[in-house]
């Protein structure tokens, strides 16, 4: 198959990779250094907000302890009134902005996919205020999501202020999550793994460096700057025998089921709340939270004191059962009554309680075979967290950092994977940050609009037509003398469709018997000279024809638009204007002589020979020596979205490949894209 010789004028200009040569350029215009400062700012903000949250938690627990010293009637009145008043305030805040009611880290992950890193500072700060109100009223929520959102919003402002591209702005979202987890729990490595596993979805070394920087700055400000210790401490982990791992898997499975139960209960409460107008459902929810706290005081707030008791093995069975049930109930009621926050922190208490109960049971039966209950409590904590956010690697890193023991790695992985699989099996979505009461949403990708352009530049001049009534036998007999790969079928002056000469020549005699050209054609419809490129993409997505006929306003055939030309035009437009991926972004301008020698980044349509094959089957690295660093896929609106590059991804004719490598190797693939298929 020979490449097309049609001219492609849109390829005459292309963006250049700008190289900074002077020291001034490197210091003030280098995006890597700007991103470095942005990560530090996000880490500092995350550490500052986390410090404020920790102080609020301690103050809240001190205030509740003071209330318990009052007379019983006054104590009961205040414990019921304070959460009810908090529910009233939250209801009023929700009237200002409904977005405040969407808390948690999972909501940040959606922002990563939908906002290309642009977050509103006022909304984020309002959400943090709502979280503070929720925690002050004794609500059972965590502050990781709101803290991450607030610090990330400030980082987003920095990115826009200094012109960082969208991919780097998105990275700052993950930096905010990393900073919040590290600042609150003092677990920097678990924070980095969590941000990469839950938000980014990839482990790229260059990105991990910025996540670790943000986590380190946040930890330094919270721990060494303010002198705060970790919110809870755990004794060294004990793995008594291999049988412990079996029980750890059982604990993980139970935590997975509890995570789904928590979500189901919260969704039901939200559905009941939404049936009533006004702020009274929030007030009633706060009143019920106060009732739970009256019965089980350890259920108030985040629950760190109860967690410390579980890890130190200084609690009783009745206490743990009461805390587990009360914490599940209080968390569902808080989130169901417009409380703002996440379920990561409360889930640690719930999981720790379940793990402690299981550990106490097996250790009591065979103390020489099974580990103490405190070690099972630590496994339960990370299992529940893994079930909440589907992050088993985070579970392993978290348990190692809180117990300071590498013996906990395997138990953490076993229990975390079991919990994640169990929750995903019952309900295929993470609990954390999901707004209860709303239908689950899949990842929404931001679309990339093409430059508004008509197809006129892409039209290949007038082609001969074949009559629709022509015998199929006669048509196939004439094809060896035809040089073009597509024939236009017409009925008089009316254009009906196209015939692929290669497809027609592959048909045998029996398939042609009694058939006409009309039977062999692809009913493609027609394009008009004034149609946009996006309209042409949408029409091509309806079939696999290599070309579409173009007609004038008088419905006269004027030529063809080839799929290969159209996708090449789109690839060039994406590279010039809107493309961003990984840690590279195109920059226009600059002296071409400053470009790296014989190395380039190009956007090319998928060659016809690659369509229907996976990236593993194509094996670009072995066959051509190039690397695919991004893929953009056309949608049914004519826009493009980014898709995750993975070995088993099947390539489509409406995909655009982003390739990097040696210029001569890229040119080889460029020749393949010019084949009409």
Give the CATH number, domain containing residue 606: 3.30.70.1450
For the cut 90, the answer to whether the pLDDT of residue 354 exceeds it is yes
Whether residue 86 is contained in a domain is answered as no
CA pair distance 440, 554, nearest whole angstrom: 49
- pLDDT in the model for residue 19: 45
Domain count of the fold of the chain: 2
Written as one string, the DSSP assignment of 93-115 is HHHH-GGGG--SHHHHHHHHHHS
- pLDDT in the model for residue 246: 92
Lowest mean pLDDT among 30-34, 168-172, 270-274, 625-629: 30-34
pLDDT digit string (tens) for 401-422? 988 888 888 888 899 889 888 8
Element (H, E) at 344: helix 344-365
Whether residue 560 is contained in a domain is answered as no
Whether residue 224 is contained in a domain is answered as no
Task: Determine how β-strand 486-491 pairs with β-strand 465-467.
Answer: parallel
Element (H, E) at 336: helix 317-336
More confident residue, 36 or 358: 358
Q: Which residues contact 257 (CB under 8 A, 6 or more apart)?
A: 422, 423, 426
Whether residue 432 is contained in a domain is answered as no
Element (H, E) at 358: helix 344-365
Catalogue the E-assigned strands of 268-325: none
The 3-state DSSP class for residue 496 equals: strand
pLDDT digit string (tens) for 305-316? 888 888 888 888
Mean pLDDT over residues 349-362, rounded?
91
For the cut 90, the answer to whether the pLDDT of residue 67 exceeds it is no
Residue where one domain finishes, among candidates 426, 446, 480:
426
Residues in the chain: 677
Whether residue 666 is contained in a domain is answered as yes
Residue where one domain finishes, among candidates 396, 426, 456:
426
pLDDT band, very low/low/confident/very high, at 576 (cuts 50, 70, 90):
low
CA pair distance 128, 151, nearest whole angstrom: 10
More confident residue, 264 or 277: 264
Residue where one domain finishes, among candidates 426, 457, 474:
426
Q: What's the chain's average pLDDT?
A: 78
pLDDT band, very low/low/confident/very high, at 625 (cuts 50, 70, 90):
confident
CB 490 within 8 A of CB 463: no
For the cut 50, the answer to whether the pLDDT of residue 172 exceeds it is yes
pLDDT band, very low/low/confident/very high, at 115 (cuts 50, 70, 90):
very low
> 273, 396, 276, 265: which is closest to 329 by C-alpha?
265
Range of the domain at 669: 9-18+582-673
Task: Determine how β-strand 494-500 pairs with β-strand 460-461.
Answer: unpaired
Mean pLDDT over residues 12-34, rounded?
55
pLDDT digit string (tens) for 500-526? 888 888 887 777 888 888 888 888 888
CA pair distance 528, 536, nearest whole angstrom: 9
Q: At what angle do helices 144-161 and 105-114 cross, to 10 degrees?
A: 30
Whether residue 13 is contained in a domain is answered as yes
CA pair distance 512, 519, nearest whole angstrom: 9
The pair phi, psi for residue 540, each rounded to 5°, is -65, -30
Whether residue 200 is contained in a domain is answered as no
The 3-state DSSP class for residue 475 equals: helix
Whether residue 345 is contained in a domain is answered as yes
């Amino acid at each position: 198959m020979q490449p097309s010789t049609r001219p492609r004028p849109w390829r005459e200009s292309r963006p250049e990779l700008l190289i900074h040569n002077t020291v001034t350029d490197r210091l003030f215009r280098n995006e890597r250094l700007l991103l470095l400062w942005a990560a530090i700012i996000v880490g500092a903000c995350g550490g500052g907000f986390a410090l404020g949250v920790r102080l609020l938690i301690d103050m809240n627990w001190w205030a509740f302890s003071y209330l318990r010293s009052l007379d019983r009637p006054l104590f009961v009145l205040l414990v019921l009134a304070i959460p009810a008043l908090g529910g009233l305030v939250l209801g009023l805040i929700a009237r200002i902005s409904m977005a405040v009611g969407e808390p948690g880290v999972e909501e940040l992950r959606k922002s990563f996919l939908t906002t290309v890193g642009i977050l509103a500072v006022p909304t984020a700060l309002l959400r943090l205020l709502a979280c503070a109100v929720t925690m002050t009223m004794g609500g059972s929520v965590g502050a990781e999501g709101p803290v991450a959102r607030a610090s990330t919003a400030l980082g987003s402002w920095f990115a826009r202020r200094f012109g960082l591209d969208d991919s780097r702005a998105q990275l700052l979202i993950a930096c905010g999550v990393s900073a919040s987890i590290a600042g609150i729990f003092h677990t920097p490595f678990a924070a980095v793994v969590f941000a990469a596993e839950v938000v980014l979805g990839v482990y790229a070394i260059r990105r991990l460096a910025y996540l670790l920087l943000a986590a380190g700055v946040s930890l330094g400000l919270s721990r060494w700057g303010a002198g705060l210790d970790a919110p809870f401490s755990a004794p060294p982990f004990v793995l008594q025998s291999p049988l412990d791992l079996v029980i750890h898997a059982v604990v993980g499975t139970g935590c997975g089921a509890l995570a789904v139960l928590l979500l189901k209960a919260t969704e039901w409460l939200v559905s009941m709340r939404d049936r009533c107008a006004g702020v009274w459902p929030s007030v009633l929810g706060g009143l019920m939270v106060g009732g739970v706290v009256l019965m089980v005081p350890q259920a108030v707030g985040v629950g760190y004191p109860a967690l410390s008791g579980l890890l130190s093995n200084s609690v009783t069975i009745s206490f743990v059962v009461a805390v587990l049930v009360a914490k599940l109930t209080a968390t569902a009621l808080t989130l169901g009554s417009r409380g703002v926050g996440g379920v990561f922190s409360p889930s640690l208490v719930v999981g720790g309680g379940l793990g402690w109960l299981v550990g106490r049971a097996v250790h009591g039966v065979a103390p020489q075979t099974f580990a103490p209950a405190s070690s099972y409590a630590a496994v339960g904590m990370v299992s529940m967290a893994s079930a909440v956010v589907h992050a088993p690697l985070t579970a392993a890193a978290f348990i190692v950092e809180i117990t300071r023991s590498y013996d906990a790695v395997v138990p953490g992985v076993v229990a975390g994977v079991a919990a994640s699989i169990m929750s995903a099996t019952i309900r295929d979505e993470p609990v954390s940050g999901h707004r209860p009461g709303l239908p689950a949403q899949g990842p929404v990708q931001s679309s990339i609009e093409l430059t508004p352009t008509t197809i006129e530049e892409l039209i290949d001049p007038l082609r001969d037509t074949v009559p629709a009534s022509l015998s199929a036998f006669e048509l196939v007999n004439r094809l060896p003398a035809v040089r073009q790969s597509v024939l236009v079928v017409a009925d008089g002056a009316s254009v009906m469709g196209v015939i692929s000469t290669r497809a027609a020549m592959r048909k045998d005699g029996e398939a042609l018997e009694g058939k006409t050209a009309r039977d062999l054609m692809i009913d493609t419809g027609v394009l008009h000279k004034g149609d946009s490129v996006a309209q042409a993409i949408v029409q091509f997505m309806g079939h696999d024809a290599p070309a579409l006929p173009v007609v004038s306003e008088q419905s006269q055939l004027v030529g063809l638009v080839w799929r290969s030309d159209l996708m090449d035009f789109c690839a060039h437009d994406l590279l010039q204007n809107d493309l961003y991926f990984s840690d590279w972004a195109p920059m226009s301008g600059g002296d071409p002589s400053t470009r790296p020698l014989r190395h380039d980044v190009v956007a090319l349509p998928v060659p016809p020979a690659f369509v229907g094959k996976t990236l593993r089957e194509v094996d670009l690295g072995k066959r051509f020596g190039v690397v695919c660093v991004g893929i953009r896929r056309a949608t049914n609106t004519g826009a493009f979205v980014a898709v995750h590059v993975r070995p088993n991804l099947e390539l489509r004719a409406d995909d655009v490949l982003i390739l990097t490598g040696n210029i001569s190797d890229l040119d080889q693939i460029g020749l393949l894209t010019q084949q009409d298929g």
